[in-house]
Amino acid sequence: MKAKMNPADYSALDETLEIMAPMGPDLSNGLSNHAPMAIEAMCAMGRRDAVMPWFERYRRRLAPRRARVARLTDDNWRAALGDLRRTEDWFEFFRNEIAERPWPAVLDKWTARLAPGLMAAATHGVIRTGHATRALALEDTPSRRRELADGLAYWAADYMPLPAGPHRDSTVRAMPSKAIAGVQIIPPEIRRAKIGALTDALAQLDSFEPFKDTLDAVDPAGDACAFISDLTATFARVFLANAHNAYTTIAFVHAVTGPAAIRPLLPYLRDSTAHAALAYGWQTAAAMYATFATRADLGRVEIDELKVWDEAGLIERAIACGDEHAIKFTEVCLREHAFNPDPAFLAAASHAIHILSGAEH
């Protein structure tokens, strides 16, 4: 993907964010509103021309904002973590925070607080925050500030910590590409059958004792960008090994896009905040793997090293597919490939587009 984004491509984002101002984080069917994320991805890929035709089809599914419950303050916010009824209370809270102090300071403070619940809305909270941060860093506009408040609000209102045992100091921590070998998947004989929402299926981890040591299996204290590259490349291979239908494709898409959403945040995070976010990014991806994977032999994932995937062709295919996950995943794979050239990213994007276009539903 092109190294430098064009601010002019983002005019479509501001236009659609204004239209969506009265709309909440969910669709009318209760699933996540992906429009702000998919549109920012299209703008990043230089395809603002595709935004309005896509949005006109998608907008009929949007649901209005919820009613507010009660005002949040510095003294009472903890009680509202993970309470989906409080989305609008969180939105007002973060909108005021961003109005009163520099948004990078708000981002660092709240990423540190929200990192343990990074699985919020199957990682859509941090993903929406990541897209909003990248757009706001490109140009500071009122609609993008509001979108950052919405992203953080979704993360807080759907805050979802994963099971973890007591913290262990260890000298055997590894990078994700090595640590993945130690993550056990829920055995098929005790795994519940396909469950509707991804977060409902992830609840099985609460009683799966081997998962509780996962958080401490990696060492995120080094180069943060290198850690993300290793993490996303590892889970691009997990995706290729395990995404066989629309349900598993969407699950394993988020094992890449969730952790990748931390990258736009890094310039604004203190080292301690970044390290915590990276550890929980690993944990969320590993949770998808433990819950949904059927194949663990990642070393045998076959990628045609001689195949040339055309970047423009992948973008065109994703937009023609129209699926919001295909669009977001393609942008992330191209972005991560630019940081760390690896054919697994391009192969994963192509495979996701193929499945989400309906060929293997």
| pLDDT, tens only, 151-187 | 999 999 999 999 998 776 655 679 999 999 999 999 9
Q: State the Rg of the chain over Cα.
A: 19
Inter-axis angle of helices 124-138 and 103-114, to 10 degrees?
A: 160
Distance CA 263, CA 257 (A): 10
- Of 91, 88, 105, 290, residue with least CA distance to 198: 290
Residue 83 contacts by C-beta under 8 Å, 6 or more apart in sequence? Answer: 157
Contact 355, 249 (CB under 8 A): yes
Average pLDDT, the chain: 93
CA dist 255 → 8, 68, 290, 332 (Å) = 31, 32, 11, 12
In this prediction, residues 333-341 reach a mean pLDDT of 97
Q: Lowest mean pLDDT: which of 213-227, 287-301, 336-350?
A: 287-301
In this prediction, residues 323-339 reach a mean pLDDT of 97
Burial pattern 26-60, b for ≥16 Cβ within 10 A else e, equals bbeeeebbbbbbbbbbbbbbbbbebbeebbeebee
Distance CA 281, CA 49 (A): 33
pLDDT of residue 127: 98
Q: Per-residue pLDDT for 2 more than 60?
A: no
- Of 12, 61, 52, residue with least CA distance to 32: 61
pLDDT of residue 281: 98
HSE (CB half, 13 Å, CA atoms) of 145?
17
pLDDT of residue 173: 76
With H, G, I as helix, E, B as strand and everything else as coil, classify residue 178.
helix
Give residue-wise pLDDT tens across range 306-320.
576 899 999 999 999
Residues of the chain above pLDDT 70, percent: 94
Residue 96 contacts by C-beta under 8 Å, 6 or more apart in sequence? Answer: none
Burial pattern 63-75, b for ≥16 Cβ within 10 A else e, equals eeebeeeeebeee
Give residue-wise pLDDT tens across range 207-253.
999 999 999 999 999 999 999 999 999 999 999 999 999 999 999 99
pLDDT of residue 361: 35
Q: What is the dihedral of CA 307, 308, 311, 317, to 10 degrees?
A: -50
Residue 240: is it exposed, middle or buried by C-beta count within 10 angstroms (0-12/13-18/19+)?
buried
How are the residues of the chain apportioned to helix, strand and coil, as percentages rounded to the nearest 5?
A: 65, 5, 30
